[in-house]
Chain A
Amino acid sequence: MSIQAYSMGKKEIKEVQSRKLKEVVARVYENSPFYRRRLKEAGIDITNFRPEDIRKIPFTTKTDLRDNYPLGLISVDKSKIVRMHASSGTTGNPTVVAYTKRDIDAWAELNKRCLEVCGVTSDDVVQVAYGYGLFTGGLGLHYGAERLGSKVIPASTGNTKRQLKLMKDLGTTVLACTPSYALFLSESAKEEGIDPKKDLKLRVGVLGAEPWSESTRKVLEEEFVQSAHDIYGMSELNGPGVAIECRKKNGLHVWEDHYFVEIIDPNTGEVLEPGEKGEMAVTTLEKEGMPLLRYRTRDITILDDEVCECGMAHARIKKILGRTDDMLKIRGICVFPSQIEEVISGFEGLTPFYQLVVDRDGPLDRLLVKVEVSENFKSDRLTEIVDLQKRLEEELRDVLSISAAVELTEPRTLPRSEGKAQRIIDLRKI
């Protein structure tokens, strides 16, 4: 293990962050016309910059990236850029991110750290079933595993039968993919007559790119992979490798020598205390090509700054509770799909596959939660099923503060995905 990063104490982390914050602010001021203007407008004194001055710097948003499409936010000469990734732009321009050689190197290092924290070693066979290409998931984990010296299978997404065959024949021990695809692979294994516990050797799952719940972990660890770890990242922050769950699985450690995290109130922008729920804003401390100051991730979480039982001092974020853009406003109330997933997980005989349909009945929003029953669902007594449905509806109302209708569906009827799950159907017309 590369000892330094893991053994840093709180004090050392704070010192490194103070120094790097000052450096990055000076660097973007020097090299990025966008940030120079921003910092000047905000009256930031570069020469006497103190760490607490960070709060005076305006947030950077996805809109800033789009408005300055494609490369308006880079802080180096274009000749130093060696890679560009782009996110899917469903509306308007995609967001483009740019890397220098040093950025690619740092990104590989962070992913290597993440894998090591999950217990992956050079002896492991790592199947990367994230998409390779413009999406950063595939290449990020690929670099990390390669740097660690593991045997990498760049399977990318799709072709589920072949994924399972590779897993079986090449003795895959580590699977990196989205949690929803891991669930799909687990189901498909059974259909192919593969018993994951006997025929496969999956030790570690490195699962990210979408929020997932403890219930999904439970299902995956019981049926598919011994230990499922959540990994966090986004292309604006290099890609995967920003934060990782250690063996304690009590939050994701953020690599604080590379990322400075603040949790803010998404409405007012006010910085919140550890333990308070809000949107995560991140300042990149090492990125060279396209450093970002106080980038609003739109991810909702809670910061825990205590030293973890695993011994690492890098602060933890709770599993992502939702995204500000996934957040559904129903009858004026904020609803996150993850809240619904947690409720469903408390019921026997239901699967983690669900879909939320929002529509409008006259002036009133209606929420319908479709949940798939499992194959061993108790299906003889109608009264028991009706009762389960009622209890589910009651609990959803308690947790969400709005009423939701529940519809139980047969096994394997809701759409599956190989990438990020599409769980929300919003039929409301504005």
Chain B
Amino acid sequence: MVKQFSIFLENKPGRLSNLIDLFERNQIRVLAMGIAEAGNYGIVRCILDAPEKAAEALRNANTAMNLVEVLIIDMEDLHNAVKVLGEKGINVDYAYTMDLGRIVIKVDDESKAKNALSEAGIKTY
């Protein structure tokens, strides 16, 4: 299971740049990123290559942030994966793509989803 960072940011010019600057300064690489926005704020969801270092850097910068468990699968398994999840009654809350031809999926029951996918022979990261 992979930890995703969900970061609360105000929806204003420069905020995202500050965040990415912070990652750069700490030599943290962004592997995947999605942004959801509502009015004056938004949530930046991302997968980072050095989660512990990133958590510390974000805490030191007084960021409003949560860690959330997500699944990562290969894009080529997408069709099968959503079929399996649907059959097992597992909901996909949101998803976004990642480089290396992968996709990040947030479901409502992570462990059940992981088991279902592995039974169906679908690789998760």
Contacts and interface: CB of A to CB of B under 8 A. Distances in A.
B8 A377 contact: yes
A412 B63 CA distance: 9
Contacts of B9: 410
Contacts of A1: none
Interface residues on A, range: 20 to 34
Interface string B1-30: 000001111100001000000000000000
A87 interface: no
B65 A379 contact: yes
A385 interface: yes
Contacts of B64: 373-377, 379, 410-411
Contacts of B37: 382
Interface in B95-110: 106
B8 A386 contact: no
Interface in A351-385: 373-382, 385
Contacts of A375: 59, 62-65
B6 A380 contact: yes
Interface residues of B, number: 24
Q: Is the interface of B mostly helix, strand, loop or mixed?
A: strand
Contacts of B41: 385, 408-409
Contact of B7 (A379, A381, A382, A413): A379
Contacts of A386: 38-39
B45 interface: yes
A379 B58 CA distance: 14
Most chain A beta-carbon contacts within 10 A, residue among B7, B40, B106: B40
Contacts of A380: 6, 43, 45, 66, 68, 106
Interface of B: 6-10, 15, 36-43, 45, 59, 62-66, 68, 93, 106
Top 9 closest A-B pairs, CB basis? A380-B6, A379-B8, A377-B64, A411-B62, A412-B62, A382-B36, A380-B68, A373-B64, A379-B66
